[in-house]
Amino acid sequence: MLCINCGTKMDAYFVKKSFSIVRCFTCKLMAVENVPADLSPYYREGYFTGDVTLDGYMDYDSDKEVSKKTYVDFLGVMKKFVKNQHSPSMLEVGCATGFFMNLGKQQGWQVEGIDISEYAVQKTKEKGMVASVGTLETYVTDKKFDAIVAQDVIEHVKDPINDIKKSADLLADNGLLVLTTPDAGSLWARVWGKRWHAFVPPQHLFYFSVKNLSSVLEKNGFKVEYCAHHGKWFAVPYIIRLLYSWTGLGIFSKLASWSSNSFLKKISLPINVRDTIFLIARKIN
Ligand SMILES: [Zn+2]
């Protein structure tokens, strides 16, 4: 396959879970080759509620409670860059159960969301917000948004260029595209190699670095204005479970189940291994 950023033929790099990961020699972008036509079996309800075989969330809603600090941080940065300061609008792509949207709404944003999961969209609607089932590709509206937020989405889509172009169409003049995605160029990713936690085919189909992601955006109608690696807050039981999955030591498995029923589940710690890109790009008119 050819690199979506620079057109170079991508070379075989490694195999994980029987999927071949290829890499561009020129810009180092990585991608999954031979993506299954139907990915929906990989996004069943269990993806959001802790089915470990699906490489998804531990438990979406409870994880989000401790992510609140991360999200408030993101909204603070977005507010600095958005042109419409009075009542800005946002479309969240991959809104899951609407946790981020709800925080945005509380801060004066007009919010709308889309997600491929019917389960997630239903949960968002129950919280009193507008949401619909679908992807950016299938989404139809006459509205123009001040910001499109896609957190941990671009690595999941089959055609990122198409999504970036569609985002430009849906944005108002000077609108913002706000992305987070794992940073395959980070030191942390390079140290772990193929065992890096974000190498999860076929849920993650593209593995970007700051440089090649910025390049893709700038070739498709955007100017990158902000890029950082923000830390994330994690509940203690989640951290212990990660230790278990990295080390395979039984002690961590026991500690994880004990801690998830103890006071420790209420405690979260900031961790920043600098392997998540948080980027804001402005539409060039
Ligand atoms: Zn390339």
Q: Report the pLDDT averaged over residues 129-155.
A: 96
Distance 280 CA to ligand 1 centre (A): 21
Is residue 51 very low, low, confident or very high in pLDDT (cuts 50, 70, 90)? low
Q: How high is the mean pLDDT of the chain?
A: 91
**Cα-based distances in Å from 63 to 7, 66, 85, 266, 267:** 38, 6, 30, 11, 12
Ligand 1 centroid distance, CA of 129 (Å): 39
pLDDT-based confidence at 260, cuts 50/70/90?
confident
> Ligand 1 centroid to 3 CA: how many Å?
5
pLDDT at 49: 61
Those residues whose beta carbon sits under 5 angstroms from the ion ligand 1 are 3, 5-6, 8, 24, 26-27, 29
Q: Could you tell me the pLDDT band of residue 239, with boundaries at 50, 70 and 90? A: confident
Grade residue 247 by pLDDT with cuts at 50, 70 and 90: confident
Report whether pLDDT(61) > 60: no
User: What pLDDT is recorded for position 50?
Assistant: 58
CA of 28 to the centre of ligand 1 (A): 6
Is the pLDDT at 57 greater than 80? The verdict is no
Distance 145 CA to ligand 1 centre (A): 30
Query: Cα–Cα–Cα angle for 209, 212, 214, nearest 5°?
Result: 100
Tokens 């139809």 appear where?
140
Give the pLDDT confidence of 188-232 residue by residue, as tens digits: 999 999 999 899 999 999 999 999 999 999 999 999 999 999 877
User: Tell me: the pLDDT tens digits for 73-87?
Assistant: 999 999 999 999 999
Residues 2-50: tens digit of each pLDDT = 999 999 999 999 999 999 999 999 999 999 999 999 987 887 666 666 5
Question: Are 157 and 181 a contacting pair, CB within 8 Å?
Answer: no
What's the pLDDT score for residue 47? 66
- Asked whether 217 and 164 are in contact (CB, 8 A), the reply is yes
Ligand 1 center from residue 23 Cα (angstroms): 8
CATH no., domain 40-231+273-283: 3.40.50.150
By the 8 A CB rule, do 205 and 32 touch? yes
When pLDDT is cut at 50, 70 and 90, the band that residue 70 belongs to is confident
How far away, in angstroms, is 205 Cα from ligand 1 center?
Answer: 15
**Ligand 1 centre and the CA of 24: distance in Å?**
5
Give distance in angstroms: CA of 40 to centre of ligand 1.
Answer: 28
Distance 92 CA to ligand 1 centre (A): 28
Q: Label residue 66 by pLDDT band (50, 70, 90).
A: low
CA of 152 to the centre of ligand 1 (A): 21
* pLDDT score, position 54: 56
Contact between 121 and 131 (Cβ < 8 Å): yes
**pLDDT computed for residue 27 by the predictor:** 98
Whole-Å CA distances, 202 to 18, 41, 95:
10, 11, 20
CA of residue 215 to ligand 1 center, whole Å: 10
Distance 2 CA to ligand 1 centre (A): 8
Query: DSSP readout, 63-114?
Result: HHHHHHHHHHHHHHHHHHH-S--SS-EEEEET-TTSHHHHHHHHTT-EEEEE
Contact 36/29 with Cβ under 8 angstroms? no
Q: Quote the ligand 1 centre to 9 CA distance (angstroms).
A: 8
10 in Cβ contact with 207 (< 8 Å): no
Ligand 1 centroid vs 150 CA: distance in angstroms?
22
Count the Cβ atoms, other than its own, within 10 Å of residue 128: 9
Distance in Å, CA 94 to ligand 1 centroid: 26
The confidence score (pLDDT) of residue 167 equals 98
CA of 188 to the centre of ligand 1 (A): 21
pLDDT at 52 over 70: no
Q: How do the domains of the chain map onto residue ranges?
A: 40-231+273-283
Q: Phi and psi for 79 in degrees, rounded to 5?
A: -60, -35
The token pair that represents 93 in the structure block: 């792509």
